[in-house]
Amino acid sequence: MSHIALNPNLRPLGKSEYLVSPLAWGMWRFAGDDVGAAQARCEAALATGINFFDTADIYGPDNDEPFGASEALLGRVFKAAPALRSQIVLASKGGIRMGVPYDSSPEYLVEAVDASLARLGVERIDLWQIHRPDMLTHWADVAATLDGLIKAGKIGAVGVSNFTVAQSSALKKHLQAPLVSTQPEFSPLALAPLQDGTLDWAMKHGLAVLGWSPLGQGRLGDGDPRPGRKQAEDDRIARVKAALAAHGARFGVGIAATAYAWVLAHPAGITPIVGSQNPARIAEAADAFKVSFTRAQWYDILVASLGENLP
Protein backbone atom coordinates (compact mmCIF):
# COMPACT_ATOMS: atom_id res chain seq x y z
CA MET A 1 0.00 0.00 0.00
CA SER A 2 1.40 3.40 -0.96
CA HIS A 3 2.35 5.89 1.71
CA ILE A 4 1.95 9.67 1.82
CA ALA A 5 5.48 10.87 2.51
CA LEU A 6 6.29 14.39 3.67
CA ASN A 7 8.87 16.71 2.12
CA PRO A 8 10.87 19.10 4.35
CA ASN A 9 12.21 21.19 1.45
CA LEU A 10 11.34 24.83 0.84
CA ARG A 11 8.36 25.44 -1.44
CA PRO A 12 6.69 28.43 -3.11
CA LEU A 13 4.40 30.60 -1.00
CA GLY A 14 1.43 30.53 -3.32
CA LYS A 15 1.96 32.71 -6.39
CA SER A 16 4.67 34.81 -4.81
CA GLU A 17 8.43 35.20 -5.07
CA TYR A 18 9.05 33.60 -1.68
CA LEU A 19 10.24 30.10 -0.83
CA VAL A 20 9.12 28.98 2.61
CA SER A 21 9.50 26.01 4.90
CA PRO A 22 6.58 23.56 5.17
CA LEU A 23 6.31 24.50 8.86
CA ALA A 24 5.87 28.06 10.08
CA TRP A 25 6.59 29.47 13.52
CA GLY A 26 3.80 31.48 15.11
CA MET A 27 4.51 34.38 17.46
CA TRP A 28 1.20 34.84 19.28
CA ARG A 29 2.97 34.06 22.58
CA PHE A 30 6.27 35.70 21.63
CA ALA A 31 6.61 37.95 24.66
CA GLY A 32 8.89 39.24 27.38
CA ASP A 33 11.70 41.71 27.91
CA ASP A 34 14.69 39.40 27.41
CA VAL A 35 15.92 40.07 23.88
CA GLY A 36 18.59 37.39 24.18
CA ALA A 37 16.02 34.73 25.04
CA ALA A 38 13.76 35.96 22.23
CA GLN A 39 16.66 35.74 19.78
CA ALA A 40 17.37 32.19 20.97
CA ARG A 41 13.79 31.22 20.13
CA CYS A 42 14.13 32.69 16.66
CA GLU A 43 17.41 30.86 16.13
CA ALA A 44 15.85 27.61 17.38
CA ALA A 45 13.17 27.90 14.69
CA LEU A 46 15.77 28.59 12.00
CA ALA A 47 17.90 25.67 13.21
CA THR A 48 14.84 23.43 12.90
CA GLY A 49 14.55 24.42 9.24
CA ILE A 50 11.73 26.92 9.73
CA ASN A 51 12.28 30.15 7.80
CA PHE A 52 8.63 31.28 7.83
CA PHE A 53 7.68 33.45 10.83
CA ASP A 54 4.08 34.58 11.39
CA THR A 55 3.23 37.43 13.74
CA ALA A 56 0.48 40.10 13.99
CA ASP A 57 0.01 43.57 15.38
CA ILE A 58 -2.68 42.32 17.80
CA TYR A 59 -0.25 39.88 19.47
CA GLY A 60 0.44 41.36 22.88
CA PRO A 61 -2.77 41.99 24.83
CA ASP A 62 -3.42 38.26 25.27
CA ASN A 63 -0.04 38.11 27.03
CA ASP A 64 -0.87 41.12 29.23
CA GLU A 65 1.36 43.27 27.03
CA PRO A 66 0.53 46.26 24.82
CA PHE A 67 -0.88 46.11 21.31
CA GLY A 68 2.04 45.42 18.96
CA ALA A 69 4.29 43.91 21.64
CA SER A 70 5.18 40.77 19.68
CA GLU A 71 6.21 42.77 16.62
CA ALA A 72 8.16 45.20 18.80
CA LEU A 73 10.07 42.34 20.46
CA LEU A 74 10.94 40.86 17.09
CA GLY A 75 12.09 44.32 16.01
CA ARG A 76 14.46 44.42 18.99
CA VAL A 77 15.79 40.99 17.99
CA PHE A 78 16.43 42.23 14.44
CA LYS A 79 18.24 45.26 15.86
CA ALA A 80 20.44 43.04 18.05
CA ALA A 81 21.07 40.48 15.29
CA PRO A 82 20.52 42.17 11.89
CA ALA A 83 21.60 39.09 9.93
CA LEU A 84 18.48 37.22 11.05
CA ARG A 85 16.15 39.33 8.92
CA SER A 86 17.53 38.05 5.62
CA GLN A 87 17.03 34.45 6.75
CA ILE A 88 13.32 34.88 7.43
CA VAL A 89 10.21 35.15 5.29
CA LEU A 90 8.31 37.54 7.54
CA ALA A 91 4.53 37.43 7.74
CA SER A 92 2.36 39.73 9.80
CA LYS A 93 -1.32 40.59 10.05
CA GLY A 94 -3.48 43.61 10.74
CA GLY A 95 -7.03 44.87 10.61
CA ILE A 96 -8.06 44.08 14.18
CA ARG A 97 -8.46 47.30 16.12
CA MET A 98 -8.90 47.35 19.88
CA GLY A 99 -12.49 48.20 20.79
CA VAL A 100 -13.81 48.24 17.18
CA PRO A 101 -13.01 45.29 16.51
CA TYR A 102 -12.36 45.05 12.73
CA ASP A 103 -11.21 47.86 10.44
CA SER A 104 -10.09 47.40 6.84
CA SER A 105 -10.78 50.98 5.80
CA PRO A 106 -8.07 52.31 3.47
CA GLU A 107 -6.89 54.82 6.05
CA TYR A 108 -6.52 52.25 8.79
CA LEU A 109 -4.85 49.58 6.67
CA VAL A 110 -2.12 52.04 5.66
CA GLU A 111 -1.78 53.18 9.27
CA ALA A 112 -1.57 49.57 10.49
CA VAL A 113 1.12 48.58 7.98
CA ASP A 114 3.19 51.69 8.72
CA ALA A 115 2.96 51.00 12.45
CA SER A 116 4.01 47.37 11.99
CA LEU A 117 6.99 48.40 9.84
CA ALA A 118 8.07 50.83 12.54
CA ARG A 119 7.76 48.28 15.35
CA LEU A 120 9.58 45.60 13.37
CA GLY A 121 12.25 48.02 12.17
CA VAL A 122 12.04 46.69 8.60
CA GLU A 123 11.39 48.28 5.23
CA ARG A 124 9.01 45.58 3.98
CA ILE A 125 6.79 42.83 5.38
CA ASP A 126 7.02 39.86 3.03
CA LEU A 127 3.47 38.57 3.53
CA TRP A 128 0.86 40.87 5.01
CA GLN A 129 -2.51 39.36 5.86
CA ILE A 130 -5.86 40.88 6.79
CA HIS A 131 -6.40 39.22 10.15
CA ARG A 132 -10.21 39.19 10.18
CA PRO A 133 -12.71 40.40 7.57
CA ASP A 134 -14.24 43.83 8.04
CA MET A 135 -17.88 43.72 6.94
CA LEU A 136 -18.09 47.52 6.61
CA THR A 137 -15.47 48.08 3.90
CA HIS A 138 -16.06 47.29 0.23
CA TRP A 139 -13.66 44.69 -1.12
CA ALA A 140 -12.73 46.99 -4.02
CA ASP A 141 -11.47 49.57 -1.50
CA VAL A 142 -9.54 46.92 0.42
CA ALA A 143 -7.97 45.61 -2.78
CA ALA A 144 -6.96 49.05 -4.02
CA THR A 145 -5.28 49.78 -0.70
CA LEU A 146 -3.39 46.49 -0.68
CA ASP A 147 -2.27 46.94 -4.28
CA GLY A 148 -1.03 50.41 -3.33
CA LEU A 149 0.95 49.04 -0.40
CA ILE A 150 2.62 46.50 -2.69
CA LYS A 151 3.47 49.20 -5.25
CA ALA A 152 4.90 51.34 -2.46
CA GLY A 153 7.20 48.46 -1.48
CA LYS A 154 5.82 48.25 2.05
CA ILE A 155 4.51 44.69 1.65
CA GLY A 156 5.62 41.95 -0.67
CA ALA A 157 2.47 39.86 -0.96
CA VAL A 158 -1.10 39.72 0.30
CA GLY A 159 -2.94 37.03 2.25
CA VAL A 160 -6.06 36.64 4.36
CA SER A 161 -6.80 35.03 7.71
CA ASN A 162 -10.11 33.68 9.01
CA PHE A 163 -11.90 34.48 5.73
CA THR A 164 -14.68 32.45 4.20
CA VAL A 165 -14.32 31.26 0.62
CA ALA A 166 -16.84 33.91 -0.49
CA GLN A 167 -14.92 36.69 1.26
CA SER A 168 -11.59 35.53 -0.19
CA SER A 169 -13.12 35.25 -3.66
CA ALA A 170 -14.62 38.75 -3.45
CA LEU A 171 -11.29 40.30 -2.46
CA LYS A 172 -9.39 38.31 -5.08
CA LYS A 173 -11.78 39.58 -7.79
CA HIS A 174 -10.71 43.18 -7.16
CA LEU A 175 -6.97 42.65 -6.53
CA GLN A 176 -4.42 43.32 -9.23
CA ALA A 177 -1.74 41.47 -7.27
CA PRO A 178 -2.27 37.77 -6.59
CA LEU A 179 -3.92 36.67 -3.37
CA VAL A 180 -1.20 34.27 -2.23
CA SER A 181 -2.44 32.74 1.02
CA THR A 182 -5.30 31.99 3.36
CA GLN A 183 -4.99 31.19 7.06
CA PRO A 184 -7.81 29.16 8.64
CA GLU A 185 -7.76 27.24 11.88
CA PHE A 186 -6.99 23.62 10.98
CA SER A 187 -6.07 20.59 13.05
CA PRO A 188 -7.32 17.06 13.67
CA LEU A 189 -9.86 18.74 15.96
CA ALA A 190 -10.75 21.74 13.75
CA LEU A 191 -11.94 20.24 10.49
CA ALA A 192 -14.05 23.02 8.97
CA PRO A 193 -11.63 23.79 6.08
CA LEU A 194 -12.11 20.21 4.86
CA GLN A 195 -15.86 20.72 4.71
CA ASP A 196 -16.49 24.39 3.87
CA GLY A 197 -14.53 24.52 0.62
CA THR A 198 -11.52 26.46 1.94
CA LEU A 199 -8.93 23.85 1.01
CA ASP A 200 -10.53 23.04 -2.33
CA TRP A 201 -10.73 26.74 -3.25
CA ALA A 202 -7.09 27.25 -2.28
CA MET A 203 -6.01 24.32 -4.46
CA LYS A 204 -8.14 25.59 -7.36
CA HIS A 205 -6.52 29.04 -7.27
CA GLY A 206 -3.00 28.12 -6.15
CA LEU A 207 -3.11 29.75 -2.70
CA ALA A 208 -0.86 28.67 0.12
CA VAL A 209 -2.73 27.55 3.24
CA LEU A 210 -1.38 28.38 6.69
CA GLY A 211 -3.09 26.35 9.40
CA TRP A 212 -3.27 28.09 12.77
CA SER A 213 -3.54 26.10 16.01
CA PRO A 214 -2.56 22.73 14.47
CA LEU A 215 -2.61 21.33 18.03
CA GLY A 216 -6.23 22.30 18.52
CA GLN A 217 -5.62 25.40 20.66
CA GLY A 218 -3.54 23.34 23.07
CA ARG A 219 -5.97 20.44 23.37
CA LEU A 220 -3.53 18.11 21.62
CA GLY A 221 -0.57 19.53 23.53
CA ASP A 222 0.00 20.10 27.19
CA GLY A 223 -3.02 22.15 28.03
CA ASP A 224 -6.37 23.60 27.06
CA PRO A 225 -6.89 27.28 27.92
CA ARG A 226 -10.66 26.98 27.68
CA PRO A 227 -12.53 25.81 30.81
CA GLY A 228 -15.92 24.15 30.97
CA ARG A 229 -15.65 21.56 28.22
CA LYS A 230 -18.44 19.02 27.89
CA GLN A 231 -17.77 15.33 28.35
CA ALA A 232 -18.40 14.61 24.68
CA GLU A 233 -15.59 16.97 23.72
CA ASP A 234 -13.25 15.42 26.28
CA ASP A 235 -14.05 12.02 24.78
CA ARG A 236 -13.35 13.31 21.28
CA ILE A 237 -10.01 14.79 22.33
CA ALA A 238 -9.07 11.50 24.00
CA ARG A 239 -9.91 9.54 20.84
CA VAL A 240 -7.84 11.82 18.63
CA LYS A 241 -4.87 11.86 21.00
CA ALA A 242 -4.96 8.05 21.22
CA ALA A 243 -5.06 7.74 17.43
CA LEU A 244 -2.19 10.22 17.01
CA ALA A 245 -0.14 8.55 19.74
CA ALA A 246 -0.60 5.10 18.22
CA HIS A 247 0.42 6.28 14.76
CA GLY A 248 3.32 8.36 16.03
CA ALA A 249 4.66 5.38 17.98
CA ARG A 250 5.29 3.63 14.66
CA PHE A 251 7.88 6.32 13.91
CA GLY A 252 9.11 7.10 17.42
CA VAL A 253 7.55 10.57 17.57
CA GLY A 254 5.06 12.25 19.85
CA ILE A 255 1.49 13.44 19.48
CA ALA A 256 2.40 17.00 18.48
CA ALA A 257 4.71 15.97 15.63
CA THR A 258 2.13 13.45 14.42
CA ALA A 259 -0.57 16.13 14.42
CA TYR A 260 1.68 18.41 12.35
CA ALA A 261 2.34 15.50 9.98
CA TRP A 262 -1.39 14.81 9.60
CA VAL A 263 -1.93 18.43 8.57
CA LEU A 264 1.08 18.39 6.23
CA ALA A 265 -0.19 15.25 4.47
CA HIS A 266 -3.16 17.01 2.89
CA PRO A 267 -2.60 17.77 -0.83
CA ALA A 268 -3.38 21.48 -0.30
CA GLY A 269 0.17 21.74 1.08
CA ILE A 270 -1.01 23.18 4.38
CA THR A 271 1.65 24.88 6.50
CA PRO A 272 1.08 24.13 10.20
CA ILE A 273 1.96 27.13 12.37
CA VAL A 274 3.97 25.85 15.33
CA GLY A 275 3.03 27.97 18.31
CA SER A 276 5.45 26.74 20.96
CA GLN A 277 7.90 29.23 22.46
CA ASN A 278 10.03 26.45 23.93
CA PRO A 279 13.18 25.91 21.82
CA ALA A 280 13.18 22.16 22.48
CA ARG A 281 9.58 21.80 21.37
CA ILE A 282 10.17 23.97 18.34
CA ALA A 283 12.97 21.56 17.40
CA GLU A 284 10.68 18.56 17.96
CA ALA A 285 8.33 19.90 15.29
CA ALA A 286 10.78 18.64 12.66
CA ASP A 287 9.94 15.10 13.80
CA ALA A 288 6.82 15.48 11.67
CA PHE A 289 8.92 14.65 8.62
CA LYS A 290 9.71 11.22 10.06
CA VAL A 291 6.03 10.31 9.75
CA SER A 292 4.17 8.92 6.75
CA PHE A 293 0.60 7.73 6.29
CA THR A 294 -1.30 5.25 4.23
CA ARG A 295 -4.67 6.59 3.19
CA ALA A 296 -6.33 4.30 5.72
CA GLN A 297 -4.10 5.60 8.54
CA TRP A 298 -4.82 9.26 7.69
CA TYR A 299 -8.55 8.59 7.53
CA ASP A 300 -8.41 6.69 10.84
CA ILE A 301 -7.44 9.94 12.58
CA LEU A 302 -10.20 11.83 10.79
CA VAL A 303 -12.74 9.20 11.88
CA ALA A 304 -11.48 9.44 15.46
CA SER A 305 -12.21 13.17 15.37
CA LEU A 306 -15.62 12.83 13.73
CA GLY A 307 -16.67 10.04 16.11
CA GLU A 308 -18.36 8.15 13.29
CA ASN A 309 -17.39 6.26 10.18
CA LEU A 310 -17.25 8.02 6.85
CA PRO A 311 -20.08 7.25 4.41
H or E element, residue 12 = strand 11-12
Catalytic member of 59, 102, 108, 260: 59
In the residue annotation, 59 being an active-site residue is answered as yes
pLDDT one-digit tens code per residue, 275-300:
999 999 999 999 999 999 999 999 99
Under 8 Å CB-to-CB from 214, ≥6 apart: which residues? Answer: 186, 187, 259, 260, 263, 272, 273, 274
Q: How far is CA 162 from CA 54, 65, 76, in A?
A: 14, 23, 29
Q: Which of 61, 62, 67, 54 is nearest to 119 (CA)?
A: 67
Residue pLDDT tens, the chain, 311 long:
689 989 999 999 999 999 999 999 999 999 999 999 999 999 999 999 999 999 999 999 999 999 999 999 999 999 999 999 999 999 999 999 999 999 999 999 999 999 999 999 999 999 999 999 999 999 999 999 999 999 999 999 999 999 999 999 999 999 999 999 999 999 999 999 999 999 999 999 999 999 999 999 999 986 555 566 789 899 999 999 999 999 999 999 999 999 999 999 999 999 999 999 999 999 999 999 999 999 999 999 999 999 999 99
